[in-house]
Amino acid sequence: MNPPRLELRRASKVYQTNGQKLEALHDVSLMLEPGTITALVGRSGCGKTTLLNLAGAMDFPTSGEVLISGRATSSLSEEELTALRRNRIGFVFQFFQLLPALTALENVELPLLLAGAARARDTAHERLEWVGLGEKADSFPHQLSGGQMQRAAIARALVHSPDILVADEPTGNLDNASGEQVLGLLRDAAGRFGATVLMATHSAEAAAIASTRVQMRDGRICAVERS
Amino acid sequence: MRSFQFFRTLVLRPLRRDLVRAVLTVAAVALGVGVVMAIDLAGDAATGSFRSSLETLVGKTDLQITANGGVDEHFLPALAALPVNARFAPVMETQGVMQGVGAVTVYGVDFVAQAREQTRKAIPQDLDRAAVISSGLVRRAGVHEGDDISLALSEAARTFRVARVAEAEDTEFVLLDIAAAQQALDEYGKLDRIDVFVSQGEDFARVEREIRSVLPGSYRVEKPGTRSEENQRMLRAFRWNLRVLSYISLVVGAFLIYNTISVSVVRRRPEIGVLRALGASRRWVFWLFLAEALLFGLAGSLAGIMLGRLMAVAAVGLIGDTVNSLYVSSRPAAITVGFPAVITAMIAGTLVALASALAPAREAMGVTPVEAMARAAREHHARTHARRNLVWAVLLGALALAVAQAAPIDGKPIAGYAATLLAIAAMALAAPALITGLAAGTRNAAQALFGPEGLLAVRGLAAALARTSVIVGALATAIAMMVSVGIMVGSFRETVIVWLDTQLRADLYVRPAGRTGAGEHPALPTGVAAAVSSIPGVDAVEVFHALEMDYEGQRASLGAGDSAIVLRYGRLRFLPGEDRETILHSLANRDRVIVSEPFANKHNVHAGDILQLPIGAQTVRVTVAGIYYDYSSERGWVIFDRSTLLKYLPNQPVTNLAVYVRKGADATDVRHAVEARLANYRVVVAPNYALRQNAVTVFDRTFAITYALEGVAIAVAMLGAANSLLALVLDRRREFGLLRYLGAAPAQIRRMIVLEAGFLGVAANLLGLALGFALSLVLIYVINKQSFGWTIQFHPPLVLLAGASALVLLATILAGIFPARAAARLNPIEVIHEE
């Protein structure tokens, strides 16, 4: 039997700031399968972003484990972690985080270039077309609207066909129409590309597309709702 | 009190957070101020006071009587008989060599008259052997009253007895009775000058009139400071050029202050927005950032003053060498840091800092309160109008070209300096367009060669244009200085080497032993020329007489050689259009001279002009037969044929010989024979190659201070490059965090920054080389020509320049290493989630 795509086992995260301890995450356990969308909901400071960082192997639990396809992230070397981010994980941010110096096409192409992949440009074109921005390939981020920037960011996050897509408030900075478009793309990512989508959100509409909604408060999971 | 609180909270505290960059900025200012101060302090010390050290002994002279070729002592009785209350003291002044000590200044004075004047002093009994030594020299020589000393003046050394020690701690000299000095120098009947002491209460102007009434018109009667002023004037162009070179470091520093304050403004835009929302006025914000600049200026200036004092110690030797070799013999004085020098340094550093901060402070004024409300800290894209700036760059460049054509002002190449500043400004304005063009043009190649790091580096440069163009501007200014001075010096060197080939045609050169500075022409012992002429294998001996003279209030050199020998053996080069043979044929036994190019340029003299030359007791009208190229002295030469000079100065001693070996004779054998024949004389016999080597060595030593200044400018630029790259990295930290999220390894991020540094270095080199070539033309054809009067042939040392450019590029890449490491160490989680 295959291990879950992404699993958190009693993961906790404690930060030390100026000699004081801050428990951002406490004893969280979660299992996510391919092709699913999981939404983390809760107020600001409830631990959503911390959980996303653990899931995306950008950070490591103070106790407990985070396993990607059965392998604990804290057991991976720096090179293995880099390879993981290049090949298996994609990130989408609230504030898009496109590189202002690169065109839309170059931004999408970037993960493949960093990985030294072949046909980077062609693949990037395809992704950009998929998100409906084929004509904006040579535009710079400051020439795109918020919605267009976020769609380009999703194209970038999916250009290397990752197993896991981590999205932090993907519609938080968008109007309703753009937000709808973005949510549609996330649904496609899970359905068409088989990605495991883990999304933090305040938006009810965003939470509605998820098959699993995880309610968080003060670093703990207080409820899990499946539809 | 409240102002200080604001200053502490809003200026000092942010700087503390960014301590490394603050220290780098202060260091850059300190270096710039330090080098300006060092050049000024060292220049003052190296040129010394030019005051006669005799003044410390005999008191302040009121007037001095001098003449080209020496003062005839027969005028002394006529002067003494004048109906004035004044004392007339004859003086000889020369350099001697004291055994166990080395070169010392030797004066010949009238011991008898002096003893009568200073009644407490006894007349030494054995006047022909008596010597008075200054207490300063006694300390070094370790001699006492009554001891014997061995002193060589022209021929073999003579023994003198220390009759008395004179109180003069700061100076070193030996006094002999004037008759003894004349005998030792074999210069009877002539004095170097007559010092005049006017009694208190006597009408000074009347005394001067009376003196002039008994002297020939060619004699000069002037206040003692005049000589010192003349010397200072002669050195003026040299010192000004050094000063301007030192200011380049300050200019480079100015770029860096601008960048630092700009970075501060950009980073603190949200903070400024908050301050404005809380009620701070625009003007208040403006002064806040000027205060930051003022802090850098003051701190940098203070550090620069201390640094300058230290650097002056090294600089005084270099400058002193040049002054002594090329201009005038001087004794370096102690380095003193006076109040004016400190104030000047503080003002220079502070003004530069404030001026550089004006534009960014004005930008800060424009930040609106709404910036405080921005949820996302958007990158502030400073708008750079690359195209508009390029148009301005072209206009300024054209203006620089026009200004460079202007004539000197009061002998200073002011227009040349102005053209230089305009050209630098033009380059700075062209930098954004160049970077944009370079980034666009090399994008594909950069990606092909260096992968995504290359693409990101090239794009990153163009995206941060407001910042990168300033770094490139600063670096390019320093590189341009290096290139332009390198071309000028290289061209000059090549010109001098070619000139040496035309000038030094003899096989051997004979001159008096001992170190001589510029303006000093000690006599060869009598009999040397005859001795050499009789040696088998010697084909010809050219006898040369050299002496210093004053012409139209400026120092120059007067010489006389054998034009027939020069015609036969020499290859003297005259200005275009002048025929060498005709000119040289026309000199013998006639009142005709040739003059060197620097002399001609200084005094606006052309071939065919008439000069009124004061020689001895006469003013001689001579015709300028031709103007020849000469690089031996910036003072300038006027050359007679011997037959003419000896007509006016019959006893003028010989100062050098040029010996031509017969064809077929062994030059080495002849040299040995000459050395053996002259073994008992205090002379140096130098073969041609040794003289050439020495000339080139002196040349290289002369420009050592210039190379040092270039090095400082490059160091300032490098500090700035490292500082600015670090700022760029810190400003783009979110970008680097994102790259880590996208799968970039830390090594890739490091490589990207280093590549950016490399591209910056390439852009700076391109601009710097172009500007440097343009400035070298200004240096060679405007500044050098107007300052010194020389024609320098353009010979750019391409290999040297290529090597230097490569080194600067390497240094720029190395400057990127620390910022690269900082970028790779950033925590991606922290930087991505910053707001």
Residue B510 lies in a domain: no
Residue B711: pLDDT band with limits 50, 70, 90: confident
| Amino acid B378: pLDDT | 40
Q: Is the pLDDT of residue B382 over 50?
A: no
pLDDT at position B375: 42
Q: What does the alpha-carbon distance between residue B583 and residue B567 come to, in Å, rounded to a whole number?
A: 10
Same domain, B216 and B71: yes
Angle at B249 between CA B243 and CA B255, to 5 degrees: 135
Mean pLDDT of B139-152: 85
B602 domain-assigned:
yes
The C-alpha atoms of residue B570 and residue B565 are separated, in whole angstroms, by 7
Beta strands A196-201 and A37-41, pairing class? parallel
- Answer yes or no: do B266 and B285 share one domain: yes
pLDDT at A44: 87
B111 pLDDT exceeds 90?
Answer: no
Provide mean pLDDT across the span B188-197.
Answer: 88
**Which tops the pLDDT comparison, B645 or B61?**
B645
Tell me, yes or no, whether B290 and B157 share the same domain: no
B554-561, strands of its sheet edge to edge: B610-615, B618-628, B592-596, B637-641, B554-561, B538-551, B656-661, B508-512, B683-687
Q: What is the pLDDT of residue B168?
A: 73
B372 has pLDDT over 70: no
3-state secondary structure B637-689: EEEEEHHHHHHHCCCCCCCEEEEEECCCCCHHHHHHHHHHHCCCCCEEEEEHH
Question: Which of A25, A52, A78, A99 is best to mutate for the B interface (most B CBs within 10 A)?
Answer: A99
Q: Count of residues for chain A?
A: 227
From B301, B297, B307, select the one nearest B356 (Cα to Cα).
B297
Question: Quick check: B39 pLDDT over 50?
Answer: yes
DSSP-assigned letter for residue B82? S
* Residue B593: predicted pLDDT: 97
Q: Are residues B77 and B206 in the same domain?
A: yes
Per-residue pLDDT for B620 more than 90?
Answer: yes
B636 falls within a domain: yes
Tokens 């601009």 identify what position?
Answer: B767
What confidence score (pLDDT) does residue B750 get? Answer: 94
Is the pLDDT score of B26 beyond 80? yes
Chain B residues with beta carbon closer than 8 angstroms to that of A96: none
Regarding whether B216 and B73 lie in a shared domain, the answer is yes
> Higher confidence at residue B413 or residue B639?
B639
Domain that holds residue B676: 515-681
Tell me which of B734, B735, B742 to substitute to probe the interface with A (most A C-beta atoms closer than 10 Å). Answer: B742
Tell me: do B317 and B394 sit in the same domain.
Answer: no
The average confidence (pLDDT) of chain A is 91
Task: Give the residue-averaged pLDDT of B187-202.
Answer: 87
Candidate from B447, B738, B748 with C-beta closest to A99: B738
Q: In total, how many domains does chain B have?
A: 4
**3-state helix, strand and coil shares in percent for chain A, rounded to the nearest 5:** 40, 30, 35
Distance separating alpha carbons of residues B376 and B358, to the nearest angstrom: 28
Question: Does the ipTM exceed 0.95?
Answer: no
pLDDT band at B227 (very low <50, low <70, confident <90, very high): low
How far is residue B748's CA from residue B824's CA, in Å, rounded to a whole number? Answer: 8
Q: Which of B260-264, B422-426, B756-760 has the lowest mean pLDDT?
A: B260-264
Is pLDDT at B606 greater than 80 in this prediction?
yes
Whether A91 contacts chain B with CB within 8 A: yes
Considering only CB atoms, A59 lies closest to which of B459, B745, B829, namely B829
- State whether B456 and A85 contact (CB < 8 Å): no
Q: What is the pLDDT of residue B7?
A: 77
- Strand intervals (E) in B70-134: 71-72, 86-98, 102-109, 130-134
Q: Where are the alpha helices (DSSP H) in B664-792?
A: 667-677, 688-702, 704-731, 733-741, 746-778, 784-788
Q: Tell me if chain B has a CB within 8 Å of the CB of A117.
A: no
Q: How confident is the model at residue B688 (pLDDT cuts 50, 70, 90)?
A: very high
pLDDT at A82: 85
Residue position matching structure tokens 């790091």: B453
Answer yes or no: do B659 and B745 share one domain: no
pLDDT in tens, B286-314: 988 899 899 999 999 999 999 999 999 88
Chain B residues within an 8 Å CB radius of A83: 743
Q: Are B466 and B384 in contact (CB under 8 A)?
A: yes
In a domain, B632, yes or no: yes
Query: Final residue of a domain: which of B222, B249, B284?
Result: B222
Domain match, B304 and B331 both: yes
Q: Which of B451, B735, B748 sits opposite A99 (nearest CB)?
A: B735
The pLDDT score that the predictor gives to residue B571 is: 87
Query: Of B178, B203, B222, which closes a domain?
Result: B222
Q: Which residues, at least 6 apart from B48, have a Cβ–Cβ distance to it below 8 Å? A: B330, B331, B332, B333
Return the SS3 of B165: strand
Could you give the angle at which helices B817-825 and B798-815 cross, rounded to 10 degrees?
A: 20
User: What is the spatial distance between Cα B87 and Cα B648, in angstroms, rounded to a whole number?
Assistant: 29
| Contact across the interface for B742 and A114, Cβ inside 8 Å | yes
User: Which residues in A lie closer than 8 A to residue B462 (C-beta atoms)?
Assistant: 101
For the segment B471-484, the average pLDDT, to the nearest whole number, is 89
Average pLDDT over residues B3-17: 77
Q: Which residue of A has its CA nearest to B436?
A: A101
Kindly tell me if the per-residue pLDDT of B50 is higher than 70. Answer: no
**Does residue B176 form part of some domain?**
yes
Residue B762 scores a pLDDT above 80: yes
pLDDT band at B121 (very low <50, low <70, confident <90, very high): low
Q: Is B766 on the interface with A (CB under 8 A)?
A: no
Q: Are residues B216 and B236 in the same domain?
A: no
Whether B690 is covered by a domain: the verdict is: no
| Gap between the Cα atoms of B294 and B7, Å rounded | 11
Least confident of A117-131, A167-181, B108-122, B541-555: B108-122
CA–CA min distance A214, chain B (Å): 22
Which of B180, B203, B222 terminates a domain? The answer is B222
pTM: 0.81
What are residue B596's phi and psi, to 5 degrees? -80, 160
Q: B263 and B141 share a domain?
A: no
Which tokens sit at A178? 């753009």
The whole-chain average pLDDT of chain B stands at 85
Report, in this order, helix, strand and coil percent for chain B, each rounded to 5. 60, 15, 25
In the predicted model, is pLDDT for residue A1 greater than 70?
no
In 3D space, the residue among B376, B380, B461, B743 whose CA is nearest the CA of residue A150 turns out to be B376
pLDDT band at B116 (very low <50, low <70, confident <90, very high): low
Residue type, B229: E
Residue-wise pLDDT tens digits, B432-470: 999 989 888 998 899 899 989 999 999 888 888 888 888
Residue B619: C-alpha distances to residues B79, B609, B622 (Å): 21, 16, 10
Encoded amino acid at A66, one letter = V
Both B386 and B312 in one domain: the answer is no
Q: Determine the pLDDT at residue B410.
A: 80
* Domain assignment of residue B688, yes or no: no
Please check whether residues B234 and B270 belong to one and the same domain: yes
Lookup: tokens for B625: 């037969």
In a domain, B506, yes or no: no
CB contact under 8 A, B743 and A114: yes
Instruction: Report the alpha-carbon distance of residue B528 to residue B240 in Å, rounded.
Output: 42
Q: Is A96 on the interface with B (CB under 8 A)?
A: no
What is the structure's pLDDT at B377? Answer: 41
